[in-house]
Structure 1
Amino acid sequence: MSERTSVLEMRDVRKSYGDLEVLHGVNLQVAAGEQVAIVGPSGSGKSTLLHIVGTLERPTSGAVVIDGYDTTELSEDELAGLRSHRVGFVFQSFHLIDGLSATENVAQGLLYSGVRRPERIRRAREVLERVGLGHRLDHDPRILSGGERQRVAVARALLNRPAIVFADEPTGNLDSHSGEEVLNLFDELHRDGTTIVVITHEHEVAARMARQVEIRDGLITHDSQVVAA
């Protein structure tokens, strides 16, 4: 493991729904500044893993530590606070609000944070410029391309300067050109030090990431960082 600070640790994480165990003792560490793909077919457990590391669900057993916080020791309110300040999410379907500008969509991420509107707008414009959308600040998502809408979603995920960004099938709704643009953006953010974990079923997308972790049947079956003995 790298000497860099770990921002995600999964220790013997198991998840069951009734009698069905979906994750079977997953161990994983992600260091600050890493770019990681978690890749696996449908039914492999990767969506459940995302929900757990994103604090949307709790594990049945084991520990999940995010940016130094053991999530098993946090209340629901504390988990919500951790999720809103230390974790960023990018989804396949963008989740943007039609009728609001790109800037307003991004600024929504600070709506309940106590930050005043002028500062919310300033920070939203700043992060949109960072992802290459300085010329689309006032555009409604309905007139943006798929790749541009995903860039707005990435900007929203970065707004709170999270410790880690999780991207769930971020190219799944994009054509090949737009998907390539988004992957190039992830490369740029990685070079700038952003910690990114991409969940995907596409091996071509995973190959673009600096590190590949494969999950199958609820177990990690390969990690490109681990050298076989």
Structure 2
Amino acid sequence: MSRRSGILEFAVLGLLRESPMHGYELRKRLNTSLGVFRAFSYGSLYPCLKTLVANGWLIEESGAAGEALAPLAGRRAKIVYRLTADGKEHFEELLSQTGPDAYEDEHFAARFAFFGQTSRDVRMRVLEGRRSRLEERLEKMRASLARTRERLDDYTLELQRHGMESVEREVRWLNELIESERAGRDQQRSASDGSAQQNSTSGESGVLPRRRGSTPPPDASDDTSK
């Protein structure tokens, strides 16, 4: 499986986890909502869908189910793709992966599009991995520019500067996201610690001391008589 087809499968599974869709609606969401799959055509999408169906990760539904979702003309509009339980499990497994592929340009964009369904720890690892990858790229770009600056014409030099500025902007953006994730994690930890401490305090204050002469509870009376 090529890297690009793997990205497409990941995105399709993620979109279908939200709701069943026609192939037409899937392509529309890939091209507009995610914003990183403009080069994908029906010629790429439908073989991908067939593969996912063959693997048991999707099922095809037709007839009334398709007509209820969207009144689209044509035979293809009547086919609705729905995620199976195995497909959901497979997508969650893909969502938890934080290997080097997750830091590449298109794959990172696809992963980021589904951060709302991703755990905080995985989000942090992907963001930090992406930042590290871009910092390495930026260092190489600076070194290359320093070596070739004198041999470049003004337009080529400006193009290289533009590329470096783009990478620098994304690194700053990633820094902000990472700090935000850390702040959210710290707040969650503080809230959890505060809740535990409050429960502990409530437990201590909730046990009132027994006044002298009062009748002991049944279990305490039994212990005294022994």
TM-score band, normalised by the shorter chain? under 0.3
Larger radius of gyration: 2
Higher RCO (CA < 8 A, seq sep 6+):
1
TM-score of the superposed pair, with normalisation by structure 2: 0.26
Write 1 or 2 for the structure with the bigger share of helix.
Answer: 2
